[in-house]
Amino acid sequence: MRTLRCKCGEKIAWTTDSFPDCQGCEKCGTTYASHPDYHNELQPHEWQTMYNQNTGKPYNRCKKCHEADEKSYKESMKGN
């Protein structure tokens, strides 16, 4: 298990793998890294349309990190 941090130290993550470049700290705009020299610039999510299995309504999810867009996911959960 490795401990990774953003450049400013505000966010900490633990993993055995690495994180995609769309995950990190919005405050300093960097990705997670194990050493200060290894940080990259935080990139935007690459959204794809998915469909809620219960309602059939669409929502957005990142292709790289699989994080769901909170606003569109909440909308997809509303009943018919």
Question: Is 18 a residue whose pLDDT tops 90?
Answer: no
Residues 12, 31, single domain; the answer is yes
Residues 34, 9, single domain; the answer is yes
Question: Is 10 a residue whose pLDDT tops 80?
Answer: yes
Question: Is 79 a residue whose pLDDT tops 80?
Answer: no
Domain count, the chain: 2
Number of CB atoms found within 10 A of residue 31's CB? 22
Q: Token digits for 80?
A: 């018919």
Percent of the chain with pLDDT over 70: 98
Phi first, then psi, for residue 39 (nearest 5°) are -70, 140
- How many angstroms from the chain centroid is the CA of residue 66? 7
Could you report the per-residue pLDDT of 51-78, keeping only the tens digit for each? Answer: 999 999 999 999 999 999 999 999 999 8
Q: Token digits for 75?
A: 């909308």
Q: What angle (nearest 5°) sits at the alpha carbon of residue 50, between those of residues 72 and 29? A: 60
pLDDT computed for residue 80 by the predictor: 61
- Domain containing residue 52: 47-77
